[in-house]
Amino acid sequence: MENQGIGDWVHRRRVKSADATALIDGERRLSYAGFARRIDALAGALTERGIGRGDRVAYLGPNAPEFLETFFAVTSLGAVFVPLNTRLAAGEIAYAVEDSGSRLVVVAPELTALVPAAVDTVVVGPGYEGLVASADPTHADHPVSLDDPALILYTSGTTGRPKGAILTHGNLTWNAINAIVDYDVTSREVALMVSPLFHVASLGMGALPTLLKGGTLVLQARFEPGAVLAAIEEHGITSLSGVPTTFQMLAEHPAWATTDLSTIDKLTCGGSAVPARVTEAYEERGLAFSSGYGMTETSPGTTSLSARHSRSHATTSGLPHFFTSVRVVDREGADVPPGHLGEILIAGPNVTPGYWGLPEASEHALRGGWFHSGDLGRLDDDGFLTIADRAKDMFISGAENVYPAEVEQLIMELPNVESVAVIGVPDDKWGEVGLAVVIPVPDSTVSHEEIAAHLDGRIARYKIPKSTVIVSELPRTASGKVRKNLLRDRYAPAATAD
């Protein structure tokens, strides 16, 4: 059986685009032909080390060619790639390695201390290069189907212990096709990858669609606004993805006003809504954002909001991707009318078959043939989806449901608020009340009284936070989502003590 998986994408592209540039990493450039040779050599070396179909191989390191080489080599063998979040602590990494049963970890030299001592490792550098140089670069065709697992991606852990979401070759392929169709990815794409590739949005919505089309990836190991702006000019970047903070920091950099941004035609923002002042800063430069909604379990695309709808449907997350379906249902699982709140359900070839080693959790999440997101939202008459909140982030104050995202959106209207998270904390009278955790804009202040006055009359009084805490940063996942469980752990006990 011929390899139908994503592991053969670069091999096939070698014939179609041999001399085209696949990767740029600082002074390093790899053509598709050179990229494919290194992947095939690494796949041969992994085979010699006993890695085969179904085995798990983890990767721990920043954005680099070695990440993608390992990904394609592993998946070409029918083995399973496990990208690890470099921001995790050693114990969290050990959990992911052990839970996935990874036999080998490819690791950046500065992160080797985080890998469990009992696991076999290949360190990026001389050891890794020795493997690639010594192995036979002849391409071997392994039987891989679209239904075979390609990735185990550990969820961001906003609640409880992370679960390993399985993404198949088909999941990733169809997600890439959705991205190509809805974001108009072309072979002329030059995509700057500053968001970590271990995050499904960067890999699934940026790297894989670009490589499938034969475009170029420019890799940066970490986000530094000045370096991003310089790369845009140097390489003629056409597409850039990030979270709102990414784009805000670029717009606030001294080089922003003088950087030539004329090559950019795609700006994709995820993680949370883009503040109006950030949108306006980019519109002044002739740029508009596309955005969307998704999650690890959907590879990750679920909906997309095109740039042309970014103003007319600014409060929504857009329409379902071309080959993805979305429903909004009540507690009994029945579809609710347009404009009514309910849980978001997702189906399509990009949706996970389940969680690694967790059959009961998988069956529960996929009951009825639809993935139950745990998110609350509304569909309008035209099919645009608006996210209300995570069901688990909702709290009940005086028997009334409060959805923090609604409150946060209004607080973000204040010009001196850079970021905010609203959580429910215990209250003797009302059961729970809102607490606003706020980051002010640099060199400005914001008070609880100012926030309360801004909200008064805009929303029901029970939704208005009863207190405000000023902080310098919010705990976030790699995708930019606020880890509200950590905020609740910190501030809810204090509220109880009071």
User: Which of 411, 416, 419, 415 is CA-nearest to residue 463?
Assistant: 411
How far separated are the first and last CA of the chain, in Å rounded?
A: 66
What are the E-state strand segments in 441-487?
467-470
**pLDDT at residue 248, as a whole number:** 87
pTM: 0.84
**pLDDT at residue 251, as a whole number:** 94
How far is 454 from 409, CA to CA, in rounded Å?
12
- Which CB contacts under 8 angstroms, 24+ apart, belong to 322-325? 322/177, 322/178, 322/181, 322/182, 323/174, 323/177, 323/178, 323/181, 323/348, 323/349, 323/350, 324/178, 324/298, 324/348, 324/350, 324/351
Distance, C-alpha 132 to centroid of its chain: 30
**pLDDT at residue 158, as a whole number:** 43
**pLDDT at residue 263, as a whole number:** 98
**Which ranges of 418-457 would DSSP assign to H, the alpha helix?**
448-455
Cα 2–Cα 142–Cα 301 angle in degrees, nearest 5: 75
User: Which of 82, 73, 61, 57 is CA-nearest to residue 124?
Assistant: 61
- Let me know: does 185 contact 169? Beta carbons within 8 Å: no
What is the token pair recorded at 295?
């999650």
**pLDDT at residue 314, as a whole number:** 82
Non-local (6+) Cβ contacts of 496 within 8 A are: 425, 426
Domains of the chain and CATH, by start? 6-379 (3.40.50.12780), 394-497 (3.30.300.30)
How far is 498 from 493, CA to CA, in rounded Å?
9
Beta bridge partners of 290: 268
* φ, ψ dihedrals at 203, nearest 5°: -70, -50
What is the token pair recorded at 359?
């059959």
pLDDT values of the chain reduced to their tens digit, one per residue, 498 residues: 578 899 999 999 987 888 999 999 999 999 999 999 999 999 999 999 999 999 999 999 999 999 999 999 999 999 999 999 888 878 889 999 999 999 999 999 999 999 999 999 999 999 999 999 999 999 999 999 999 999 999 985 444 567 999 999 999 999 999 999 999 999 999 999 999 999 899 999 999 999 999 999 999 999 999 999 999 999 999 999 988 878 988 999 999 999 999 999 999 987 666 777 888 999 999 999 998 999 899 999 999 999 888 888 888 999 999 999 999 999 899 999 999 999 999 999 999 999 999 999 999 999 999 999 989 899 999 999 998 877 678 787 876 778 788 789 889 999 999 999 999 998 877 888 999 999 999 999 999 999 999 999 888 788 899 999 999 999 987 667 788 889 998 988 766 555
Sheet of 104-107: strand order equals 120-123, 104-107, 56-60, 80-84, 149-154, 164-168, 354-355
- From residue 467, how far is each of 425, 434, 440, 463, 479 by CA, in Å? 10, 7, 15, 12, 28
How far is 221 from 5, CA to CA, in rounded Å?
27
**pLDDT at residue 428, as a whole number:** 77
How far is 332 from 330, CA to CA, in rounded Å?
5
**Which ranges of 61-168 would DSSP assign to H, the alpha helix?**
65-76, 90-100, 126-134
**pLDDT at residue 271, as a whole number:** 65
